[in-house]
Amino acid sequence: MFLHHRNALGNKLLAALPRAERERLLDPAEPVRLELRDVVAERGSRVTHAWFPLTAFLSQVVPADRGHLEVGLVGFEGFLGLPLALGVGSSRLDAVVQGAGEALRVPARHFLRHLEQSAALRRVTGRYAHVVMSQLTQNAVCNRFHVVEQRLARWLLMSADRARSLNFEVTHAFLGMILGVRRVGVTQAARALSERGLIEYARGHIVIRDRRGLQGAACPCYRIDLDTYRDTMAR
């Protein structure tokens, strides 16, 4: 078995597949190192690969009035390339690396062929599609009703989960973009969390000092997302 096949167990969707089917899916897979701010998909472009993050994670963003707005995060819990599983050949979102690390990419043609042959892959990707749609709905609620400090705490927890670390890089400018607020709003929210001893933030580097406290500061959407993923994928 190739090295990247062994590493594939670092991705939850791949780990959920029977071993033989996982190996067939990954037969032509290419291990890739993704660097911060790499763009792996562009809005309107053809989907050429299905991406399975191992240690990297990506922000999915759409154009907005003041730049871009993040609508989803994809890390080791899922995969990038859901349009393929839904019979769509192009992406409606940009995908930007927010956490550097490793990923496996599978050519779209091979992914689609295996999807036709594998009931297990159809089941797993279908459930993941439900998770993503539920998270998009929750994001709409969150952006409308929850204050910036709550939303920032939620996003930091989501990123920490996917980074598998309490330390990661992110700038004020990027936080403003993904949260859809002005930079001063991000500064005020980050300062409030820092003054409570929940995080440290300096020169684009975040350290979560009190994860439990940060969960208390986040809106309920964080827990709802976790419960949705657990309940859906465990069936």
Q: Do 147-218 and 3-141 fall under one CATH topology?
A: no
pLDDT in tens, 168-220: 888 888 888 878 888 889 999 999 999 999 999 887 889 999 999 999 999 99
CA distance 185 to 173: 11
What DSSP line would sit under 163-218, residue for residue? HTSSEEE--HHHHHHHHTS-HHHHHHHHHHHHHTTSEEEETTEEEES-HHHHHHHS
Name the residue ranges covered by the structural domains of the chain.
Answer: 3-141, 147-218
- The two structure tokens encoding residue 62: 């759409």
pLDDT in tens, 4-52: 555 778 999 999 999 999 999 999 999 999 999 999 999 999 999 999 9
Q: What is the CA radius of gyration of the chain?
A: 18
To the question of domain 147-218 being in CATH 3.30.470.20, the answer is: no
pLDDT in tens, 109-144: 999 999 999 999 999 999 999 999 999 999 999 989
The pTM assigned to this predicted structure is 0.92
Sign for the pseudo-dihedral over CA of 181, 186, 188, 189: positive
CA dist 192 → 1, 175, 183, 201 (Å) = 50, 15, 14, 11
CATH number for the segment(s) 3-141: 2.60.120.10
- The two structure tokens encoding residue 39: 């763009």
